[in-house]
Amino acid sequence: MMYRWVTPGLTLGLALALALGACSGDIERSAAPNGGDPFVPGLGGKLGPNGTGGSGGPGSTPGTGPGGGPVGTDSDDPRIAQRIWRLSSEQFNAEIERLFGAGAPAVKIPETAAEAGITNIAENALVDLGNASVFADGVRAIASWVVMQKNTTTRCTNYGMEPCVDSFLAWFPKAAFRRPVTSAEIAELRGLFDQLRGTYDYDYSFGGVVRAVLLSPDFLYRSELGGAEPMVLSNNEIANLLAFSITDHAPDADLLKAAEMGDLTDPDQREAQARRLMLKSETAWQRFFWEWLEMHTLESQGAEVGLDAALVAQMHEEYRKFVREVIITEKGTLRDVLSAPYTWVQPELAEHYGVDHPGTGLMKVELDPGERGGILTQGAWLVAHGKKGRDNVVRRGMNIFRQAMCNNSLAPPAGLDVQAELKKLVGPDATVREIVDARGSAAACGGCHRVADPVGMLFESFGSDGKWQTTDVAGHPVDTEVDVMGLGLYDSARAYAHALADDMAFQRCFVQRFTHFLAGIDLGSPEMVAWTQQAHERLLETDLSLEELLVSLVRHPAFIERRTEAGP
Amino acid sequence: MSSSRSRISRRGFNALLGGAALGAGLLPSWVTRTGHAQNAGAPMRFLAVRTPHGADRDTWIPRPMAGGEPPSTDMALGELSFEYTDSVLGPMTPWKDKITVLDGLDTQVSKEKTRADRRDYHGHNEQGALLTGAQPPADRDSGNFDNHPSLDFFLHSRLSSPALLTASVEGSGTWKCMSYDERGRPRDPEPDPRELFRQAFPADFRPPTTGGTPQVDFSAGEELIHGYSESALMRLRQRLVGTERDKIDKHLDAMARLAAQSGGMSGGPVGMCMTSGMDTPTRDGNVRNVAGVEEITRAHTKVIAQAFACGRSRVATLQILNDYPNWFTDLPDVQTPYIMGHYPPGFRFHENLVHDYWGASGNDRVEMRKAYCAGLRWSGTHFAAVLDELDKMADPLDPMGGSILQNTIVFWHNEFGHEGHDNQETRHPSVIAGGGGRVLKLGRYLRLRNIQSQERVPHNKLLTSICLAMGLNDVNYFGDRDLTGRANYQGPLLPLMT
């Protein structure tokens, strides 16, 4: 075997950095939005042995107490700024279902484009001219539906009568605002109903109250404002942050009870809640890996390479089941996600993969460890980054290079016709290796492709349809023996994926993007941010446990402290 | 209630100023006046359509029957032909009197690089420059146009309608978007016509011609309901500063503007609109096969036309594929014997054929041109389908009984221009259609400059022309804030104006 089951660790990370440094401006490592200096870890002292110690408890200020380091984007006070965060489409619809049950008209909010694949970004989550009508119209349609369902949705026994209004207001505003409400707030809503009822019928007036609440910022936004300095979020704000971050849903009864008891500023309480919520976190994990590895092109690419839509749907199903089982049920590690030698597939997909299926339906199957293992060898990722009629080297290699390793790449230099240049370097019958070698040695391209293409070559054992292949689309034997960045020899995608889990640069990127996803803001590399550096260290200490990573992030004071943004 | 009305009214006014302020950083001349309706006829709408792969100007322009260059810089299309070997605009032949072909327009802004974080060379990422009129970012993956909204977003901010529609046939990407918000952030298009319809029409929208029962005036009730959420927003606003307060201001302004629109929030009567909120299209956004491109194009356009007719929208964009989807290679006219012998099965239309074409010579170039132009001609059929859908829809607000097409400025452009090489900022293939010839000429071929010269005609002038055609007579420049003082960027494209 030509590959080695190494733990490249720092050596590989250093080599990558050197390789990237040789990119002569074509690529650059991504950094925190405002540059790195303010995030230098260590200002707050070294971390405790379990990655959670010394947080200083509630009220400690990052950067001054043990374990507290700068995390934000302001040079004077690097904590995350006070903010509001509008519900995403998914969260909005889940909230409507939580409040009224299934069946309400769904709302799809037009959004700005993702950041590094991550879609739910606090700064970008707006109600503006581009989407306001969707909220207004959607909420009106929901309210119409609510009043049509009468007792079912309003939890009344006497919809149409006055007492129903009061019983509705006894639960609805509190549930919708995800916090206790005052009697004055209820009275204001009752006053609204009465004013409407003075002119209009019962249904319109009742629906008007529903609309008023659903268009209120108390429903549409989560707030992270806190109180006086040091700016620690309120218990309700922490409950909402924990719940939406971990489960993509509103806080459940247990979490609201903990908030009511004022417990959530205690890192031990947050840890307990996070461990409990892990059992409900499948949606968030599924969305995270899907967005981070940019698999949203699965459907369009599947159609382009001629796959049956049902088989593509099975690939998506496999991905969701795999993430749920490995991360939630088995409490697996990052390594398991990347290289577990088993998966869950329907018979048709098993046949596509060339593996035995034990019966019918979605079942766990063992994979040939020489061929497949982990999400990077599943149909969803392979097809999403496949390329019809060509080798898949650049698309797959660059997805790992850019997304999984957090490198920014710039387009080819001015005036360069990439394809024309490539044609000058290789003949029309060139093999994939010849093309890769030529691209890597070309001055204008090599900076990035020398690093990315060998990784892409490893995945050439899979066609653009995700099937195992021994000859490529041009009829040449598949050749996957590669030297990744001159350091490691590998000859299979799974071997590489297994080693990738132990690569420091990959781990840092994973922690950076997971925090980006969790906090809705890009804080930069863990090398530069004490909060996430601590989480990375905890990941290492726990053999890449995803649950321990999450716990470390929510225990840190940075999770619950905010700074005041400069005034206008 | 009266105070609520007063607050909304004032905020509505502020919202209009917000529209001006939106432009203020970019276009100081906008601040002095707000736009006004162009005439007493139907309101003008705007639709921008984009198709991929650039075009060879030699096969894209109309030509005299005898061949050669059009003898005049301003000619009736009726005197010219789209029917010659490898002509791209063949599908436009039935639409000659409803389109104008612009020859020699340049996205020169993408070469200016007046700021360090901008890019001064061509590539796919200049696509955002088309509708923002702004310099593209050096980091194309960010897609950030640095606080420059696209024309559609700007028009929507100045015109009265609830929904801004942003559609695509297949997805786009961070740096392949058409629409950009006020901050210059790319806005994801909606690939599914069913979802686009839902954005345009609330489920309870009822056409005024059905039902037969007298309309109840809900305006006072609507004001109360929105007064409640406005008060809550104002309370939250008091707790915020900086960018977070700005978020609430945007929210308030957007909601106030909706509330101020007659018929907008309550789905009130709009002419002879025939669409109900339950008339959801059946076509989804999955292309599936080569025929699916036109199916989705038509489905999207029908939704847009319905929204225009019912006053639900006045502005939309539609991106029909980009350079990546490879459906072009499934076309029989692209699969010529030469091409099938030259490339392996499943070759890439863009990376193989389009790029190879520009470097080819002799017979290779002739054969590749044939296939390349066949692909572009296919895109032309999609634009023809757009015009057809718009023309089939009667405009209920047109006292003269015209179609939606007659009251819509349609701007069809490509992702690239070219200059003997693909992916260039020069000679951007552009067509203006619709609008009834009221402000922008129709049925013309307009050569805007000496094609062989180094002269450049910034496309910002076209964007300004469109603003004028939409009735925003105070706009004299649209685009990058650093170029407001450049005389060659100012004013409309005079040859295009009636």
pLDDT digits over B219-266, tens only?
A: 899 999 999 999 999 999 999 999 999 999 999 999 998 888 754 434
Chain B residues touching residue A419 (CB < 8 angstroms): 351-352, 355-356
What is the predicted pLDDT for the residue at A28? 32
Residue of B nearest to A307 (CA): B288
Chain B residues touching residue A407 (CB < 8 angstroms): none
Q: Do A462 and A468 contact (CB within 8 A), yes or no?
A: yes
Q: Do A422 and A393 contact (CB within 8 A), yes or no?
A: no
Same domain? B81 vs B180? yes
CB pair distance less than 8 Å for B346 and A389: yes
Non-local (6+) Cβ contacts of A234 within 8 A are A225, A226, A227
Cα-flanking dihedrals φ and ψ of residue B248, to 5°? -65, -35
What is the predicted pLDDT for the residue at A488? 83
Same domain? B23 vs B61? no
Percentage, residues of chain A above pLDDT 70: 82
Question: B49 is written with which tokens?
Answer: 């359509």
Q: Do B175 and B127 contact (CB within 8 A), yes or no?
A: yes
**Residue among A105, A172, A109, A165 at smallest CA distance from A135:** A109
The residue to which tokens 């909304």 are assigned: B8
C-alpha B257 chain-centroid distance: 22
The residue to which tokens 């390479």 are assigned: A305
Question: How many angstroms separate the CA atoms of B454 and B47, rounded?
Answer: 31
Q: What is the average pLDDT value for chain B, to the nearest integer?
A: 85
What is the residue range of B89's domain? 38-214+274-496
Question: Rounded to a whole number, what is the distance in Å from the CA of A547 to chain B's nearest CA?
Answer: 31
- B118-159 confidence digits (pLDDT tens): 877 666 767 899 999 999 988 777 788 999 999 999 999 999
pLDDT over 80 at A2, yes or no: no
Please list the alpha-helical segments (H only) found in B169-241.
Answer: 193-200, 219-238
CB pair distance less than 8 Å for B156 and A387: no
Query: Who among A199, A218, A309 is closest to B221 (CB)?
Result: A199
What is the predicted pLDDT for the residue at B163? 94
Sign of the Cα torsion A270, A272, A276, A282 reads positive
- A154-179 confidence digits (pLDDT tens): 999 999 999 999 999 999 999 999 99
Helix, strand, or coil here: A120?
A: coil
Chain B residues touching residue A124 (CB < 8 angstroms): 185
Q: Do B444 and B430 contact (CB within 8 A), yes or no?
A: no
Q: Could you say which of B244, B268, B292 is where a domain stops?
A: B268
Question: How many angstroms separate the CA atoms of B253 and B16, rounded?
Answer: 9
CA angle B235, B259, B409 (to 5 degrees): 130
Same domain? B391 vs B492? yes
Query: Who among B157, B199, B257 is closest to A134 (CB)?
Result: B199
pLDDT over 60 at A42, yes or no: no
Rounded to whole angstroms, what are the CA distances from A143 to A100, A283, A287, B55?
Answer: 10, 27, 29, 50
What stretches of B266-372 adopt beta strand conformation (E)? 313-320
B319-337 burial by CB neighbour count: b if 16+ within 10 A, else e? bbbbbbbbbbbbeeebbee
Non-local (6+) Cβ contacts of A88 within 8 A are A109, A111, A119, A120, A125, A248
Cα-flanking dihedrals φ and ψ of residue B149, to 5°? -75, 160
Q: Which helix (H) or strand (E) holds B468?
A: helix B460-469
CB pair distance less than 8 Å for A133 and B225: no
Q: Indicate if ipTM > 0.90.
A: no
Question: Rounded to a whole number, what is the distance in Å from the CA of B457 to chain A's nearest CA?
Answer: 21
Q: Do A120 and B245 contact (CB within 8 A), yes or no?
A: no
A429-461 burial by CB neighbour count: b if 16+ within 10 A, else e? ebbbbebbbbbbebebbbbbbbbbbbbbbbbbb
Question: How many angstroms separate the CA atoms of A486 and A537, rounded?
Answer: 27
CB pair distance less than 8 Å for A216 and B228: yes
Question: How many angstroms separate the CA atoms of A453 and A436, rounded?
Answer: 6
Same domain? B289 vs B304? yes
Least confident window among A76-80, A204-208, B135-139: A76-80
Q: Could you say which of B252, B268, B284 is where a domain stops?
A: B268
Non-local (6+) Cβ contacts of A248 within 8 A are A88, A90, A91, A94, A283, A284, A287
Best to test chain B binding among A133, A216, A295 (most B CBs inside 10 Å): A133
Same domain? B163 vs B301? yes
Identify which has the larger pLDDT, A448 or B228: B228
Question: Rounded to a whole number, what is the distance in Å from the CA of A232 to chain B's nearest CA?
Answer: 15
Task: Output the domain CATH number for residue B488.
Answer: 3.40.720
Same domain? B67 vs B14? no
What's the DSSP call for residue B173? -
pLDDT over 60 at A222, yes or no: yes
Chain B residues touching residue A196 (CB < 8 angstroms): 221, 224-225
Length of chain A equals 568
Judged by a CB distance cut-off of 8 A, whether residue B202 touches chain A is yes
Same domain? B89 vs B26? no
pLDDT category of residue A378 using cuts at 50, 70 and 90: very high
Paired sense of beta strands B313-320 and B163-169, if any: parallel
Please list the alpha-helical segments (H only) found in B261-342.
Answer: 290-309, 337-342
What is the predicted pLDDT for the residue at A3? 24
What is the predicted pLDDT for the residue at A52? 28
Judged by a CB distance cut-off of 8 A, whether residue B138 touches chain A is yes
Judged by a CB distance cut-off of 8 A, whether residue B234 touches chain A is no
pTM of the model: 0.83
Query: Who among B1, B153, B198 is closest to A130 (CB)?
Result: B153
Same domain? B392 vs B421? yes
Other CB atoms within a 10 A radius of the CB of residue A199 amount to: 14
Other CB atoms within a 10 A radius of the CB of residue B204 amount to: 17
C-alpha B131 chain-centroid distance: 7
Q: Could you say which of B268, B285, B302 is where a domain stops?
A: B268
Non-local (6+) Cβ contacts of B3 within 8 A are none
Question: A50 is written with which tokens?
Answer: 């379990």
Question: How many angstroms separate the CA atoms of A115 and A118, rounded?
Answer: 5
Query: Who among A136, A412, A473 is closest to B344 (CB)?
Result: A473
Chain B residues touching residue A409 (CB < 8 angstroms): 141
Regions of chain B where pLDDT drops below 70: 1-40, 121-123, 125, 172-174, 209-215, 262-271, 419-423
Judged by a CB distance cut-off of 8 A, whether residue B176 touches chain A is no
C-alpha A243 chain-centroid distance: 15
Question: How many angstroms separate the CA atoms of B128 and B62, rounded?
Answer: 27
The residue to which tokens 């790029």 are assigned: B355
Question: B404 is written with which tokens?
Answer: 């939606």
Question: How many angstroms separate the CA atoms of A90 and A37, rounded?
Answer: 36
Question: Rounded to a whole number, what is the distance in Å from the CA of A196 to chain B's nearest CA?
Answer: 6
The alpha carbon torsion through B113, B118, B122, B128 (nearest 10 deg) reads -120
What is the predicted pLDDT for the residue at A430? 84
Same domain? B25 vs B68? no
What is the predicted pLDDT for the residue at B214? 54
Same domain? B477 vs B421? yes
Judged by a CB distance cut-off of 8 A, whether residue B187 touches chain A is yes
Residue of B nearest to A403 (CA): B141
DSSP β-bridge partners for residue B446 = B74, B102
Tally of structural domains, chain B: 2
Question: How many angstroms separate the CA atoms of A412 and B140, rounded?
Answer: 11
Same domain? B90 vs B210? yes
Non-local (6+) Cβ contacts of B270 within 8 A are B208, B263, B309, B310, B311, B312, B396, B397
Question: How many angstroms separate the CA atoms of B37 and B55, rounded?
Answer: 36
Same domain? B243 vs B340? no
